[in-house]
Amino acid sequence: MAFSLQLQQIFLSHTRFCSQPKSITNPLISLKLPSIHPLAFAQNAAVSNIDTGVAAIDASADEVLLPPQLKRELMPKHVAVIMDGNRRWAKMRGLPVALGYEAGIRAVRNLIELCGKWGIRVLTLFAFSSDNWLRPKVEVDILMSLFERALNDELENFARAGIQISIIGDSSKLPKSLQDLIDKGINTTKQNSRLHLVVAVNYSGQHDVVQACQTIAQKVKDGIIETKDINSFLIEQELQTNCIDFPCPDLLIRTSGELRLSNFLLWQLAYAELFFSHSHWPDFGEAEFLEALCSFQQRQRRYGRQSS
């Protein structure tokens, strides 16, 4: 992705954002310099802690043993995550916002690896809301660049790990280079079946329902269906999540202590169990995910029925 001159200047300025790539430890750390600015040292430490990629998952191997706290028969098939708190994580540490998003990529990689190992079938990540275009252009450009770079870095790993990737949302507004990479990723991984990774980019839950209703209305107008044929199953078939075997999440996780859905999968989350973590997204690791899964397994999902 071509950067604007303004964005290039921000990335090159060590006082605001870090110019180090996410997968390479800053070589200056190994040099014996007489003095290192505290902010520069913190930036280097944050970048050096970001993993280089999704750990290889043997797609042909049996699922590894679950932690003793979990029961396999109670594992959710579909987990959805609102990844919140990247900016707050960075600001709390006196770091540039860009490094918060970099650290967030590390958390994404860790979660993908855990889902693959623990037998979760679908992982849906809310990466970019249609409302996020209201953020400063520089920040939007950073997010788009990071998404493109991370996807490009991980495609080979996804193929090796048996991970299928899909995108929901209006991708037509994304940079052309990112659109092309998304198409490549979808085609490259479409035969994979170990884990279905769904990334919501430029997504709106309200618009998802509206476009489904518009599609159905057009079918009624064209005489393909009658109004009496419209039901919840038909609407679900027209939602953007119709590409998923298990379109409705069993568990929604939101980080950073926020207690709202923020226009994410509004129809699909009707019966989901909700878990709100106080951890900022970059700090959300195995322990936090295990806590969410344990909470999920302790609940009774009654769907309106009387408890047993």
Cβ atoms of 186 and 159 within 8 Å: the answer is: no
Say whether 51 is catalytic: no
Measure CA 143 to chain center: 12
Beta carbons within 10 angstroms of residue 37's beta carbon: 10
Give the other-Cβ count within 10 Å of 185's Cβ: 23
Q: How far is 44 from 23, CA to CA, in rounded Å?
A: 12
123 forms bridges with which residues in the sheet? 79, 197
d(CA 103, CA 90): 9
Helix and strand totals (H; E) in the chain: 9, 6
The answer to whether residues 44 and 20 touch, using CB atoms and an 8 Å cutoff, is yes
Task: Tell me the C-alpha distance between 155 and 181, whole Å.
Answer: 9
Count the Cβ atoms, other than its own, within 10 Å of residue 18: 23
Selection from 201, 290, 198, 305 nearest residue 253 by Cα: 290
Q: Which of 51, 58, 62, 84 is catalytic?
A: 84
The rounded distance, in Å, linking the Cα atoms of 199 and 181 is 14
Residue 98 tokens, joined = 């860009």
* Residue 270: both structure tokens together: 């009707």
What three-state secondary structure class fits 255? coil
Please list the active-site residues: 84
